[in-house]
Structure 1
Amino acid sequence: MFMSQYLPTYNMYLVNLVDKNAVLNNLVNTKEILLISLGIVLLAVIVVFIISRRMTNSISKLVKEISTMAKHEFTKPVPETGGYETKKIAHAFNFMLNELQEYVELVVQAQQKQRGAELSALQHQINPHFLYNTLASVKFMIQQGNKEKATDMIHALISLLQNALSNVDQTITVEQEVIDLKNYVLINQARYGDGIKVNFFISPDCLDCQLPKLILQPFIENAFFHAFNEKKEGFVQILVSQKGSNLLCEIVDNGDGMEIKGDYTKEDFKEKRHLFSGIGIRNVHERIQLLYGEEYGVEITSEKTLGTKVKVELPLQKNKKELKPNEITSFY
């Protein structure tokens, strides 16, 4: 590179020759520039990693809390912490959760009203012929001069009606249910004789357990009116016991039996309609499932000429009432 500069004072030129490659090598340090660039890139990567890590950690934590909440604590809101985006997502989710809770409450209230209406309809399907025949039998007994027996039938009928027409969602103890069943048996044996023997086998620890009223009566009614058409005598046994966390009620007779293939399980009642007199077995099954869920209900096993076995399974619910010893032993 040729460089010159005129100097007027001296009336001369200052001339210099410069090696271009030597100058460029001194001005540009390739290694230094490369190291600086790598340092800047590394610093940028670290900053981006820290920022993204902070965002992903808060989002991952939010996702984990939402997953846990959905499995265990559906009503618990998620904490609104973390970055701006995470806070916005958590706030929107909590708002949706509150709206969903209000909707669920409305649905539950609607289902409760529907359940009450269905239970009322199921429970009040009382056979009018039973009332008519009972009153006719009482009239006949009075005309025959058997006033004491007629009085017993009237008292038994009053007790049954009081239990049947009271609050539909009311549960009673096994003890009270057995008393009602004995009244029902008394009425039918007074009308048809005592050819059908009824025996009660109640476990003492089940007497204070709760169950919906009129759950067992339809099966006793079925035994009296349908199980002994060919056979004129026989027995019906009512057994109540605890099975784990469930209350197991069984009604067994040695009557005519039914021509059914296999057993009627809980699932069969969804498709097969097998009604008897009174409120019906299907209605009892539906009523139990409305109250306690699909894992409970009625199962039937029957064989022609050998009899029928009905199993009613309910959740075990204890009553707080303390029973006296004579009350316990009186049911054996």
Structure 2
Amino acid sequence: MRHIGLRTKLIAGFIVLVLLPLLLGGLTASTYISRELNGQVTKITAERLHQVNMNIERELLSMSKITNFIRIDDNIPKALESPLTSERDMLHWVHLMDQKFMQISTMAVNEPLYISLLDFNGHMYSNWTQSRQSLDAVRSSNWFKQTLEQDGYPVWSLNQDNYMVAGGQGLITQSMVIKDQYLKKQLGVLVVSQPVDPYLNILQTQDPSLNSIGFIVDESGRILGEDIPRLQQLYPSIEPALISGSKSTDTMLNGRLTSVSHYGIALTDWRVVQAFYYDDVFSNSKRIVVWMINVFVISLLFFFLLVIVVSNVFTRHLNRLRVTIKLIESGQLDERYDVRTRDEIGLLGKSFNLMVSRLRSSMEREVVLERRKEQAKLEALQAQINPHFLQNTLNTLKWMSIMAKTEPITEMLMALGHLLDVSIHRGQEKITLAEELDNVRRFLVIQKYRFGDTIRIVEEVDPLTLDMLVPKLSLQPLVENVYSHGVFGESGGEVIIRTVRESDVVRLAVIDNGKLVSAERFDEVRQHLDGTGRGSFSRIGLKNVHQRIQLMYGLQYGLTISRDEEHNLTNVSITVPGEEKFDHDNQNSGY
């Protein structure tokens, strides 16, 4: 197996656990911030368009109020209906109209406001200097003819030609027919006009860097905006978005993604249109996101270099220790690690030096024993192995296995050493269920290397039972019995270790799905547990556990065995009193 250094693992761990989460978090944050900024820009743009629409409606409403104010005046029909037969009559009505127009001028929101009142006798009253050409220009215009056709309904004209000065600034006009009191006879036409400058100012964006497109369009496609030739060129691409039914639509203009929003003006059939290029609007937010990413990348590079420096500091002493271990592995047992620090690595080095010294002594003893082996063969066969010496030997073998990096052997030796330690220390008859489960797990480690992974172990342990006291080596023989006598197919089997606390007792059960024995053999096992059986009984471990429990707690406790033929299960369980370690210690100390 290829060696992977601790420094490499630290750097890889930093990349996986720190760098990648931070990178993903940064990307997520930048995406979220960008989305929020874009949303705010879109919201502000929509609010501005709404404000533009309201301002334009306010202007138009002011004109509409002035029109209504003139229309309801009783003197207006009289002026239009009375023929001007004398110069005196003309001066009278001109003076009266001038007063009316002066009064109206005080109501106007924006100036100038041009008011004209035409009769059908060739006369026109106005608040501006008129000429015969201007009167003819009004009467010959299309909007004037449309006003006569509407017969009293107001007609709005967008960016119409200036009828006062040829080639002058365009006008916004509202015109309507004035009728008699019976609303039957047409008496004249009222015309209220305003220059387009206030509307153009409303349409202008406040941000010069934003290349937005704002204009007003009527039902016939007539446009009012800053650059009318450019707007007329773009309008065919914008028009489908206006009839789509949505107030905001994305479209392509000049090869750039564009957002088109529009509002209908309540008093007219006009629409206020605002279009902006996404790359212009979101350029600021993109710059912020790019700046954040740059700062984030620089910070990550700094932290990465910091991790490399820190990992070098931590791994330098470990590399020295590794070099010493390599020398000892090559057989140079005189080598020792030069301890220079007082941290965990220094303590590890001291322990390592002590271990090497003991290992060398042990190896020297082994050499001596090997030389005497032939002479002591007979005595060795006759001698009994001291369990304590066996345990020490296992510990020595364990360290040798660790040095040789044979992990499976090390794991088995550690498990066997633990089980041996439990068996030879007999001063304590009761241990906690947690300790007994640990013994079982050590035993299962050995069985795993004997039988492989064909048998699956499932633990269903009630946490309330872990501190309960049980006889030492009571659960382990039950599991050993499964491995010794259980018969499983090629697909293996399953063993369930279950602990349950019921009232004042604790039940420990080992359930397996191995092949069931015959009914006669099963009855024989149960009779031997009850003490009524005859003949030999091979399951000494089970009977030993059963008898120890009854001697310790009484005949009402012990081991029971049952079988479930429907589900092919064998259940061996132990019942002991529910005694906690804390209560047991208090009793032994006299409380």
- TM (norm. structure 2) is 0.28
Name the larger-Rg structure.
2
